[in-house]
Amino acid sequence: MLKFLNQCSRGRGAWLLLALTAFALEMVALWFQHVMLLKPCVLCIYERCALFGVMGAGLVGAIAPKSPLRYGAIAIWLYSAGKGLQLAWEHTMIQLHPSPFQTCDFAASFPSWLPLDKWLPQVFVASGDCSVRQWEFLTLEMPQWLVGIFAAFLVVALLVLIAQPFKPKKRDLFGR
C-alpha cells in the first residue's frame, strides 16, 4: 500500500483529485449558505479556510509532483487538515456542550495582508452563532461531519508522508 501511495503522490491525478474533493466541499458549503440560507459562523469560516488550504495543497502538488515541491504540498496538506480537524472539533464541542462562557467571535479575524472577508464577503463573512445547530444528516451536525472529513484528510496525508521513502518498483515489458 505504501508503494502505491508513493506512486500516486508522484502523479498529477491524485493531487488533482485532492484539490477537486476540497473544491466540491467548498461548493457544498456555499450551497448551504446561499441556497439553503444557513448562516455560517466564525468557526465555519475558519473551517472553510482549512478546506481552501487542502485544495491549495492539491494544486501545489499537481504543479510538479515528481519534484521536492511535493513535500511542500504534503506539509500544507498536513497543516490544513490538522488545523481543520482542530477547528471542527472545537465547533462540535461548542454545539454539543453549549455554555455562555465558551462562545465564538462575532467576526472572523484575518491578517491585514490577507483580508479575505473584505475581498470575498460572500464566502468569508460570518453571520451565524457557533452554538446554533442548523443542519443535520444521519443524526450528525455539520461540524461532526467535518471532524470525520478532516480526520480522513489527515490520515491519508500522514500515510502519503510515510510512503515517501518507499520507491515504486520499475517494471519492464514483461512485468518483472
Find the CATH number of the domain harbouring 103. 1.20.1550.10
Instruction: Tell me if 172 is assigned to some domain.
Output: no
Question: Mind listing the pLDDT tens digit of every residue in the chain (176 residues)?
Answer: 777 776 667 778 888 999 999 999 999 988 888 888 788 888 888 898 999 999 999 999 888 877 888 888 999 999 999 999 999 988 888 877 767 666 677 777 777 887 777 787 777 777 767 667 676 768 777 888 899 999 999 999 998 888 787 676 665 555 55
- 47 close to 146: Cβ distance less than 8 angstroms: yes
Q: Among residues 41, 49, 70, 176, which one is catalytic?
A: 41
Residue with cell 473544491: 23
Q: Among residues 104, 133, 171, 176, which one is catalytic?
A: 104
In this structure, the number of other CB atoms found within 10 A of the CB of residue 34 comes to 11
What is the tally of structural domains in the chain?
A: 1
Instruction: Tell me if 118 is assigned to some domain.
Output: yes
Instruction: Tell me if 176 is assigned to some domain.
Output: no
Q: Among residues 10, 12, 48, 70, which one is catalytic?
A: 48
**Cα–Cα distance measured from residue 73 to residue 153, given in angstroms and rounded to the nearest whole number:** 13
Instruction: Tell me if 171 is assigned to some domain.
Output: no
**Cα–Cα distance measured from residue 22 to residue 149, given in angstroms and rounded to the nearest whole number:** 10
Instruction: Tell me if 12 is assigned to some domain.
Output: yes
Q: Is 41 known to be catalytic?
A: yes
Choose among 27, 18, 152: nearest CA to 74: 18
Q: Among residues 12, 49, 70, 130, which one is catalytic?
A: 130
Note down the domain range covering 144: 1-166
Q: Is 8 known to be catalytic?
A: no
Instruction: Tell me if 104 is assigned to some domain.
Output: yes
Q: Is 130 known to be catalytic?
A: yes
